[in-house]
């Protein structure tokens, strides 16, 4: 079988590698000049945004294993996540795993029996309401644990975020090692994209960058031609297509497809301050900065659900962020020089970083909207918020779906 995978983000790369290693002829097309999609390295080597994986992200870790990149993802804070509260200067380490909460030193602030019940209620997913409402009786736990987790995982403020969606995340944090937090030691380029491209090339995948799928011709429930750039490719009987595209592109190409249409931005600030290491990852509460990743190559700040901040110029964001980071650096004795003046800073604003995960689930897209065409992409995986894990799971599912179709006599 020949398979055209369109979209070389995580979902497309996962699908292409699986199918090529299963012996199919695979071409991977992407409109952009580089692979990686929303999880990519910029031309100067900076990550488009800090990407964090959890131990629970089995499909993402499987892909890292498959491309030989697992060792590049390290756990910077094995003793618990450092969290600095700008409101009162409190510095504590908390564990994301309920297993570790037996140790009072690593419990989230405000944890009580009632708070645990509220977390279990969200994890059950029986009702769906705003996270802030579900946690209204536990304001300290909301502020010191649930809110940073929600904003990071759902890219949505707690006043709107879906408690049932957050429950999908909470349910996964209980397993052994599930709450280990991992980051790329050097960056997405060396620790994800380069090894992925090497593995794809070795598996025989033909990569076509700068190749935008303009349109799709269908007939009798099948895709029969792809119009990519200036070319039109006929899709032979028995061949298949995977569209691993963002929702707005999938909806443009497949008429009638219902997709999430409300997206939220993520802002990243990258300070060019070389450090001596080790890699550190610190959370902040009550200010602009939500997470700080300190690597030898520089310091990266993440602001999720950044609707207001995405409109603010870097000249005003950088000094505000730097003043906050210096306080956290002092509190956690982060190594290196933390001079008062901010180092040179660039802002990367991903305006449609992920769908906004408000109350109420969008309709789940069909995996096979056409007999020989499967959909992939983080938004197609109903069991998780839009993350690398959801993208990887969707890529695996799409690869299996087209392989299964190909085995059905006369199906495609």
Ligand X SMILES: Cc1cc2nc3c(=O)[nH]c(=O)nc-3n(C[C@H](O)[C@H](O)[C@H](O)COP(=O)(O)OP(=O)(O)OC[C@H]3O[C@@H](n4cnc5c(N)ncnc54)[C@H](O)[C@@H]3O)c2cc1C
- The footprint of ligand X (CB under 6 A) covers 6-12, 29-32, 37-39, 48-49, 51-52, 212-213, 244-246, 249, 266, 268, 350, 353-354, 377-378, 386-389, 391
Helix (H, G, I), strand (E, B) or coil at 52: strand
Q: In what order do the strands lie in the sheet with 181-184?
A: 52-54, 181-184, 73-74
Nearer to ligand X, 61 or 318 (CB): 61
394, containing H or E segment: helix 388-407
Please give the backbone phi and psi of residue 226, each rounded to the nearest 5 degrees, phi first: -115, 135
Helix (H, G, I), strand (E, B) or coil at 393: helix
How is residue 88 written in tokens?
């009162």
DSSP-derived secondary structure letter, 180:
-
Nearer to ligand X, 50 or 372 (CB): 50
Closest approach of Cβ 373 to ligand X, in Å? 14
Nearer to ligand X, 239 or 389 (CB): 389
Residue entry with tokens 């929303």: 38
DSSP-derived secondary structure letter, 71:
G
Closest approach of Cβ 340 to ligand X, in Å? 28
Closest approach of Cβ 241 to ligand X, in Å? 12
100: Cβ contacts below 8 Å, ≥ 6 apart: 80, 106, 179
Nearer to ligand X, 364 or 411 (CB): 364
Closest approach of Cβ 53 to ligand X, in Å? 6
Closest approach of Cβ 173 to ligand X, in Å? 14
| Residue 96 exposed, middle or buried by CB count within 10 Å (0-12, 13-18, 19+) | buried
Nearer to ligand X, 147 or 378 (CB): 378
Instruction: Please say whether the beta carbons of 81 and 332 come within 8 A.
Output: no
Closest approach of Cβ 22 to ligand X, in Å? 20
């Amino acid at each position: 079988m020949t398979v055209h995978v369109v979209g070389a983000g995580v979902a497309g790369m996962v699908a292409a590698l699986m199918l090529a290693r299963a012996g199919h002829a695979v071409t991977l097309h992407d409109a952009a000049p580089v692979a990686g999609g929303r999880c990519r390295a910029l031309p100067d080597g900076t990550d488009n945004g800090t990407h964090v994986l959890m131990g629970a992200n089995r499909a993402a870790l499987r892909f890292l294993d498959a491309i030989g990149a697992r060792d590049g993802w390290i756990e910077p804070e094995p003793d618990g996540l450092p969290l600095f509260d700008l409101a009162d200067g409190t510095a504590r380490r908390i564990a994301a795993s309920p297993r570790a909460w037996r140790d009072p030193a690593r419990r989230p602030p405000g944890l009580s029996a009632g708070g645990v019940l509220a977390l279990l209620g969200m994890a059950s997913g029986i009702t769906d309401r705003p996270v802030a409402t579900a946690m209204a009786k536990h304001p300290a736990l909301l502020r010191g644990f649930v809110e940073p987790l929600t904003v990071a995982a759902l890219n949505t403020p707690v006043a709107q975020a879906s408690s049932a969606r957050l429950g999908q995340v909470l349910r996964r944090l209980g397993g052994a090692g599930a709450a280990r937090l991992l980051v790329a030691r050097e960056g997405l380029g060396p620790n994800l994209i380069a090894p992925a491209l090497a593995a794809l090339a070795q598996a025989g995948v033909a990569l076509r960058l700068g190749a935008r799928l303009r349109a799709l011709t269908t007939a009798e429930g099948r895709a029969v031609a792809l119009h990519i750039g200036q070319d039109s490719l006929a899709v032979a009987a028995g061949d298949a297509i995977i569209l691993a595209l963002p929702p707005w592109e999938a909806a443009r190409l497949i008429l009638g497809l219902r997709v999430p249409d409300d997206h939220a931005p993520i802002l990243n600030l990258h300070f060019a301050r070389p450090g001596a290491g080790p890699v550190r990852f610190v959370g902040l509460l009550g200010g602009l900065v939500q997470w700080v990743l300190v690597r030898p190559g520089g310091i990266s700040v993440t602001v999720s659900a950044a609707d207001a901040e995405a409109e603010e110029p870097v000249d005003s964001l950088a000094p505000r962020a730097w003043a906050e980071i210096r306080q956290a650096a002092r509190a956690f004795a982060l190594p290196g020089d933390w001079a008062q003046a901010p180092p040179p800073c660039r802002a990367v604003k991903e305006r449609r970083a992920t769908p906004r995960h408000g109350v109420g689930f969008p309709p789940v897209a069909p995996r096979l909207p056409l007999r020989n065409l499967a959909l992939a992409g983080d938004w197609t995986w109903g069991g998780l918020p839009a993350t690398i894990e959801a993208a990887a799971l969707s890529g695996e599912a799409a690869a299996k779906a087209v392989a299964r179709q190909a085995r059905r006599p006369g199906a495609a």
